[in-house]
Amino acid sequence: MKKRGVGYGCMMYAMGYGFGRPDSSSASLEIAEDGTVTVLCGCADIGQGSTEMLALVAAEELGIRPQDVRVLTADTLMTPDAGCTSATRQTYVSGNAVRKAASIVLASLLEVASEMLSVEPAGISLANGVVLYDGEATDLTVPEVANRARSTGRQCTAMGLFNITTPDVDPETNQGDAYATYTFASQAAEVEVDTETGEVKVLRVVAAHDVGRAINPLGVEGQIEGGVAMGVGYALIEKLQLEEGWPLTPSFAEYLLPTVMDVPPVVSIIVEDEEPTGPYGAKGVGEPATIPTAPAIINAIHNAVGIRVFELPATPEVVLGLLREKGTS
């Protein structure tokens, strides 16, 4: 018989290294005479999409189009150190470093624009490549301002540093303000357990993630969907078998990974409880995406057939064994 169940998984994940470990990012930014921008940042994009995120942050701060921003990353000779792509930190830390660099160049551009328009800088803003005054578009464009700034020797390059190194916690109790900020998530997994085979099919995962602010919601969804898939693997499929230190599963023929057949529909819900110190309120999503999935599935199995899995992964053999123990098979 097939039985259905639903289970919740929730999590808190501290962003950044925490407890006194050095944790900062730096970036530099330059605006050329035609208004195009180059960002240099040590932030390694390993597939999660940080390079696009950095471009969006620079464009937002400078009021230009994202396609006018070019980003060079992760080269020790060319880019400033951004710390590691880990701890779900790059949107928060490098996003802030780029924003800071952009804000210094922006101040310079606003000053030049105010001279060109003969108005007070306070009323000026930039959006979409155009200079606004009191919120109304003027005839002046960002490239024109950049060109004037370059030709009059003004600041067109800047460096931004963002440092979230926290004080260390008490070494005996580990009490203290350990981390800069935290992300939160809740997921529900709905499963179908085949009581004859022990097979667990994940029917759907509903995943709500508090990311502070989604810089690129398409990227956030991609992280959530990928994280859920990895969570399905952790809960049900994956295990590096070891014998006396030797991997018995050295290839993808033996080490099984979730395929497109194993991954359920994922409903991604983005919750934006803005973090005041984040770039435009953003925190991050990379690691949190995968954390609640396995427990949600394990709780859903219990909800469906009343067995509690204490050891991962919950393979059909494990589920069948527990069902037999319970005497319901």
Partner 1 sequence: MSDEQLVEVSLTVNGRPVRERVRSDLTLLQFLRGQLGLTGTKEGCRQGECGACTVLVDAKPVNSCILPLLAVAGREVLTIEGLAHDTALDALQKAFVDEGGVQCGFCTPGMLMAAKGLLLSNPTPSEEEIREGLSGNICRCTGYRKIVRAVQVASGQASPVEVVARADHSVIGHKVARRDAPDKVTGRAMYADDLRMPGMLFGKALRSAHAHALIHGIDCRRAEKSPGVVAVLTAADIPGHNRYGVAIADQPALADDKVRCVGDAVALVVAESEEAAAQALPLIEVDYQELPGVFSAEQGLRPDAPCVHGDTNLLQHTKVRKGDSDAAFLEAEEVVEGSFRTQPIEHAYLEPECSVAVTDHAGNLTVWTSTQYVFRDRRQLASVLAMPANSIRVVQMVTGGGFGGKDDVTTEILASLGAVKTGLPVKVRFDRAESMRATTKRHAVAMKVRLGADRDGKLLALEAEVYADKGAYASLGGYVIKKLGLHLSGPYFVPNIKVDTYSVYTNNPPGGAMRGFGVVQAGFAHESLIDMLADRLGLDPWEIRYRNALAPGLSTGTGHVLQTSVGIKATLSEVRDYLDANPLPPSDQTGPGAR
Catalytic residue among 199, 287, 311, 325: 287
- What's the closest the beta carbon of residue 44 comes to partner 1, in angstroms? 5
For 167, 299, 308, the CA distances from 171, given in Å and listed in that order, are: 12, 35, 36
∠7-181-296 over CA atoms, to 5°?
A: 10
- What's the closest the beta carbon of residue 114 comes to partner 1, in angstroms? 20
By C-beta, is 146 or 180 nearer to partner 1? 180
Q: What is the DSSP string of 92-143?
A: HHHHHHHHHHHHHHHHHHHHHHHHHHTS-GGGEEEETTEEEETTEEEEEEHH
- What's the closest the beta carbon of residue 238 comes to partner 1, in angstroms? 5
- What's the closest the beta carbon of residue 151 comes to partner 1, in angstroms? 27
Kindly state the tokens that stand for 103.
């804000």
- Residue with the two structure tokens 């759907």: 204
Report the alpha-carbon distance of residue 18 to residue 12 in Å, rounded.
14
Q: What is the DSSP string of 93-105?
A: HHHHHHHHHHHHH
- Whether the ω angle into residue 313 lies within 30 degrees of 0, i.e. cis, is yes
Report the alpha-carbon distance of residue 233 to residue 101 in Å, rounded.
41
Residue 100: CB atoms within 10 A of its CB come to 21
Residue 35: CB atoms within 10 A of its CB come to 22
Residue 320: CB atoms within 10 A of its CB come to 19
- What's the closest the beta carbon of residue 59 comes to partner 1, in angstroms? 5
By C-beta, is 139 or 244 nearer to partner 1? 244
Kindly state the tokens that stand for 95.
């996003």
By C-beta, is 153 or 246 nearer to partner 1? 246
- What's the closest the beta carbon of residue 40 comes to partner 1, in angstroms? 13
Q: Is 287 a catalytic residue?
A: yes
By C-beta, is 27 or 291 nearer to partner 1? 291
By C-beta, is 2 or 154 nearer to partner 1? 2
Nearest-CA neighbor of 210 among 16, 13, 46, 18? 13
By C-beta, is 151 or 177 nearer to partner 1? 177
Which residues are known to be catalytic?
Answer: 287
